[in-house]
Amino acid sequence: MNELVPTHETGSASLAEPLWKIRWKLIRRGIAQNWEIFKESRIGMLGIILIIAFGIFGAMWPIMINTVWDPMVYDPVVGFDPMTMHPSPPSATHLFGTDPIGRDILAQLMYSTGREFLLGVLSAVITVVIGTAVGTAAAYYGGFIDTFFMRIADIILLFPFIPLLVVIGSMVRLSFLPFAVIMGVLGGFGGITIILKAQALSVSVRPYIDAARIAGGSDFHIIVSHIIPNVLPLSFLYMMFSVTSAILSEATLSFFGVLNIDMSWGMMIHTADVAGYLFDFAKYWWLWAPAGLAITLFCAAFYMVGRGLDEVVNPRLRKR
């Protein structure tokens, strides 16, 4: 060490608490502060309330099927109620009625909720992880890497993937998890890359990036410790919008009956459609309205949370 350094009282040189504890406290405080901002947004709070409501609704499925409901009657896929004609309108035994082949609509709705969460969140996480990594790399390295991934994004954005999946799906019927992964990957290399690259570009010209280089940080260190943490809030925001788009795609493809999925909200409408009941949709409203409403509200909920987060991430949008 430099002997010219005057030895000021250097403190005890030991932290009051272990470092991880301090960091954990800082994270908690950061979340609390952001929550305060988020709370100001009515639309965001409405979204949170809706998501919690869906969460409770979905969590009720295993409870109901194990306690109140007879699996023979209420199983969402193979259940059948021999006591009435089908489809039966809402009644005391079937609050939301039954579908054309005698299955309980409410049970189907509940059963599907958890799977919609899984599909939406899984594909959104894949989207955001890929989008953040690719966008950051494209922004930082530029050149060939940038051009390559931007062309892929253009192709994904311009290409009509839903019709293509309808065609492909009628040959190879995708099951639940592969579909979630495909949606996630398509999303990750698509539009989100362009948005996150723009953000990474604006971060990578900030003086603190130069400062990190002066400190001796490698490219990898700079990307991982400085660029990604500063892009992450935006990634998180777009994760919410990705959930919406994954669910909508699933509903569309299920409606066309090209997915190998035993039950989902889209499948419920598909079932009503192939049995011909949608021609008299006003009379048989319970066959499509609950599922349609669930899809709409579920997508809206994540969209609204995204709008609320927008105010946290972009301080300029705040009212105060």
**CB 131, CB 187: distance < 8 Å:** yes
32 binds another protein (CB under 8 A): no
Using DSSP's 3-state secondary structure scheme, residue 285 falls into helix
Looking at the Cβ atoms of 18 and 82, the one nearer to another protein is 18
Query: CB of residue 289 vs another protein: minimum separation in angstroms?
Result: 46
Binding residues for another protein, how many (CB under 8 A)? Answer: 33
Q: Which stretch binds another protein (CB under 8 A): 142-150, 179-187, 218-226, 259-267?
A: 218-226
Q: Which of 39, 221, 283, 318 binds another protein (CB under 8 A)?
A: 221
Looking at the Cβ atoms of 175 and 225, the one nearer to another protein is 225
Amino acid sitting at position 214: I
Looking at the Cβ atoms of 121 and 212, the one nearer to another protein is 212
Amino acid sitting at position 268: M
Looking at the Cβ atoms of 160 and 216, the one nearer to another protein is 216
Query: CB of residue 18 vs another protein: minimum separation in angstroms?
Result: 11
Q: Which of 9, 20, 160, 320 binds another protein (CB under 8 A)?
A: 9
39 binds another protein (CB under 8 A): no
Using DSSP's 3-state secondary structure scheme, residue 64 falls into helix
- Angle (CA) 288-290-292 rounded to 5° is 60
167 binds another protein (CB under 8 A): no
Dist CA 290 CA 195 (whole Å): 35
Query: CB of residue 224 vs another protein: minimum separation in angstroms?
Result: 11
132 binds another protein (CB under 8 A): no
5 binds another protein (CB under 8 A): yes
Q: Which of 36, 210, 219, 280 binds another protein (CB under 8 A)?
A: 210
Q: What is the full DSSP assignment across 70-129?
A: -HHHH-TTT---TTS-SS--S-SSSTT-B-TTS-BHHHHHHHHHHHHHHHHHHHHHHHHH
Q: Which of 22, 49, 95, 224 binds another protein (CB under 8 A)?
A: 22
CA distances, 177 to each of 5, 16, 115, 130, 174 (Å) = 62, 47, 10, 17, 8
Query: What is the total residue count of the chain?
Result: 320
**CB 96, CB 105: distance < 8 Å:** yes
Query: CB of residue 309 vs another protein: minimum separation in angstroms?
Result: 17
Which residue stretches of the chain are H helix?
19-39, 42-66, 71-74, 105-141, 143-158, 161-169, 176-189, 191-204, 207-214, 219-222, 228-255, 265-274, 289-313
Place of tokens 């990604």: 228
Nearest Cα neighbor of 148 from 159, 138, 163 is: 138
Strand partners, 259: 174
296 binds another protein (CB under 8 A): no
Looking at the Cβ atoms of 82 and 207, the one nearer to another protein is 207
215 binds another protein (CB under 8 A): yes
Q: Which stretch binds another protein (CB under 8 A): 99-107, 127-135, 151-159, 213-221?
A: 213-221
189-208 binders of another protein (CB under 8 A): 206-208
**CB 235, CB 196: distance < 8 Å:** yes
2 binds another protein (CB under 8 A): yes
20 binds another protein (CB under 8 A): no
Chain centroid offset of residue 232 CA: 15
Interface residue list for another protein (CB under 8 A): 1-2, 4-11, 13-16, 19, 22, 26, 206-208, 210-218, 221, 226, 229-230
